[in-house]
Amino acid sequence: MGTLIKTVLLGKQAGKVVFTGSMPASEHVNLLRAKEMIVNPNAQRSLGKAGPGKETTSDLIDNDKILKTDRAVNFIKFVNRVMDNVDRAVVNEGFFGSVSFVLPASFTKAKFDMKLAEDTVVGTLTAKADMGESFINIADGQGRIVGFHAMERELVLKINRLKEAIKRIEKKAQSAAEEKNELAEAEAALARVRHFLSHNDLPFVLYAHKVETNGTVVGLNEDAEKRCYIEGNALNSQASKEDVIKYEQFSPIIVDLHAFRDDLDWMSADMIEEDSKSIGSTSPKIFTLSALVQAYSWGIVNDNKPLKNLDLQLRETVEKRKGFCHAFWRKVTDLFEPIWTDSVDGELSDRIDYLKKSRQNEKNVLFQAIFLQALGRLCYVMGKQAGWDEESPLLMKLNQLSPSLVDYRAAKKHHFDADGELVVDEWNEEWRNAMMKQSVDKTTGEVKGYSFNNATENISATRHLLSKKIGLSDVEVPDQADLAEAA
């Protein structure tokens, strides 16, 4: 049973009340460990890797797997560097910012004792939780708070392991001098970390619905909590995500995609590159956010620019068609997610090797943005023919695209020459003709090779090929957006 008592400022924001305060990082960690502060898995993505059987952030904390995640490892390295800088009186790093919380509607025992101070409303916020009950849900900041937890926890576990090792060694009447030195270093490091966490504040913003006249604080429902997470992550993004911010606020297509993609592992932030317009050769991700957005937009309105026609008609179109589109992409997930997420739960190097083999050596079309957008265009064509009925048997035709029936390698056979360069011995001409362009030597006119060409005509040709493979009566689709008729 825990209690939170904090002096806070009370403000208002978009019809909600917002409490602003501060507490040491150590207190954030203690609330997290006591489960009085939690990450709601229904409103936030896990810090764990995407893939089948993905564990929640709470699961990862409980079983200490969080200590091995890339997010925690990198955060711990960063904080250690910050502490080193502080010891040298260098303060140009370590901007941990503030975190956002939501008071859940299910918690009804929060009180606010108001004190007026000129134009500022100051008071004491009190929340008393029963055993096993949480009163704060993290909206933005789980990486920082969980990272601080992992930093301290890692050292505690290391110290325990060293103490056990010393006992075993001394039982054998052997010298444990090396282990004792390591233990002393770990204990000093732990003391340093605990001092840092206890003497560095992490400000917070706590959102709630309203404060009743008797001081009772009413929390927010889960839909509001989800939205808080989405908006907080968009508005705190880097410049490369500026368009996403626009999508978030204005486009019903993107709003629907954000709500839907949480259900599918391959669409998660772990699998989609959100900070760059391209995917590096050592990235474990499969598509860029731009490619995903365009594919999803193609499927709903036959246009890859979801910021067009931002009016009531577009909202009505999304409402009428999203059921079919969701069913389509779930079917796509059943077919291709095992390939897209292969090796994701293993070592990062294994994942990168797998993607290199698939993308570069085999030139597997499943990992091409052209293919993803062609799926989007196929979604629109099928939806149109099915009358946007999400129960349409037409969706079963997608089974013909199963990797057990279709070879998605554009390079069926290849070898490496003496210089280590890839040489394709046999092309899959269907994929090559639909998705690639020739590279020609300007002097000799000789074809030097082929490369994927992310152009409208190639996306259209790939869509036609997919229609053919599933036995869908193919039709020409006008190159213009298609909105549903207003009711």
For residue 238, pLDDT over 80 is answered with: no
pLDDT over threshold 90, residue 156: yes
CA 471, CA 485: separation in Å to the nearest integer?
A: 29
Lowest mean pLDDT of 70-74, 311-315, 370-374, 405-409, name the range.
311-315
Task: Report the pLDDT averaged over residues 365-385.
Answer: 96
Given a cut of 70, whether residue 124 has pLDDT beyond it is yes
Weakest mean pLDDT among 67-76, 227-236, 400-409, 426-435: 227-236
Does the structure show a pLDDT above 70 at 307?
no
Q: Report the pLDDT value the prediction gives residue 114, as an integer from 0 to 100.
A: 83
Asked whether residue 51 carries a pLDDT value surpassing 50, the answer given is no
Q: At residue 367, does pLDDT exceed 80? A: yes
Per-residue pLDDT of 407-462, as tens digits, reads: 999 999 999 888 888 888 999 999 999 999 988 877 887 888 899 999 999 999 99
CA atoms within 13 A on the CB side of 423: 7
Mean pLDDT of 50-76: 83
The mean pLDDT of the chain is: 88
Question: What string of DSSP letters covers 346-357?
Answer: S-HHHHHHHHHI
Query: Tell me, what's the pLDDT at 376?
Result: 97
Residue 246, pLDDT > 50, answer no
C-alpha 44, offset from chain centre: 9
Q: What is the mean pLDDT of residues 67-78?
A: 88
CA angle 113, 114, 119 (to 5 degrees): 165
Among 65, 95, 64, residue whose Cα is nearest residue 78: 95
Q: Which residues contact 119 (CB under 8 A, 6 or more apart)?
A: none
3-state secondary structure 253-273: HHHHHHHHHCCCHHHCCCCEE
Query: pTM of this prediction?
Result: 0.57
pLDDT at 421: 86
Report pLDDT for 440: 82
pLDDT one-digit tens code per residue, 327-365: 999 999 999 999 999 988 888 899 999 999 999 999 999
pLDDT of residue 242: 38
> Is there a contact between 367 and 373 (Cβ–Cβ < 8 Å)?
no
For 205-232, write each residue's pLDDT tens digit: 999 999 999 999 999 998 888 878 766 6
Query: Would you give the distance in Å from CA 205 to the centre of its chain?
Result: 22
In this structure, what is the dihedral angle of CA atoms 450, 303, 319, 266, given to the nearest 10 degrees? 20
Q: Name the band, by pLDDT with cuts 50, 70 and 90, for residue 263.
A: confident
Q: Taking 90 as the threshold, does the pLDDT of residue 373 lie above it?
A: yes
Whether residue 236 has pLDDT greater than 60: no
Residue carrying the six token digits 């916020």: 125
3-class DSSP state of 389: coil
Q: First vs last Cα of the chain: how many Å apart?
A: 54
What is the DSSP pairing of strand 287-288 with strand 120-129? unpaired
pLDDT at 417: 87
What is the band of 30 on the pLDDT scale with cuts at 50, 70, 90? very high
Indicate if the pLDDT at residue 110 is higher than 60: yes
Buried b (16+ CB within 10 A) or exposed e, 104-139: beebeebbbeeeeeeeebebebbbbbeeeebbbbbb
- Helices then strands, counting H and E runs in the chain, come out as 14, 16
Judged by average pLDDT, the poorest of 38-47, 197-206, 383-392, 477-486 is 477-486
Asked if the model's pLDDT at residue 240 lies above 60, the reply is no
Instruction: Please tell me the predicted confidence (pLDDT) of residue 234.
Output: 52
Q: At what angle do helices 242-250 and 222-235 cross, to 10 degrees?
A: 150
Q: Which residue has the higher pLDDT, 382 or 416?
A: 382
Position 171 scores a pLDDT of 92
Q: What phi-psi label fits residue 14: left (phi over 0), alpha (psi between -120 and 50 degrees) or beta?
A: left
pLDDT reported for residue 247: 43
Instruction: Report the pLDDT value the prediction gives residue 208, as an integer from 0 to 100.
Output: 94
Are the CB atoms for 20 and 203 separated by under 8 Å? yes
How far apart CA 28 and CA 339 sit, in angstroms, is 39
**What is residue 309's predicted lDDT score, i.e. its pLDDT?**
63
Q: How confident is the model at residue 1 (pLDDT cuts 50, 70, 90)?
A: low
What is the mean pLDDT of the segment spanning 73-100? 89
Q: Which of 44-58, 175-189, 222-236, 264-278 has the highest mean pLDDT?
A: 175-189
pLDDT at 237: 44
Over range 256-275, report the average pLDDT.
Answer: 87
Find residue 216's DSSP bridge partners: 111
pLDDT reading at 4 higher than 50: yes
- The separation between CA 403 and the C-alpha centre of its own chain, rounded to angstroms, equals 26
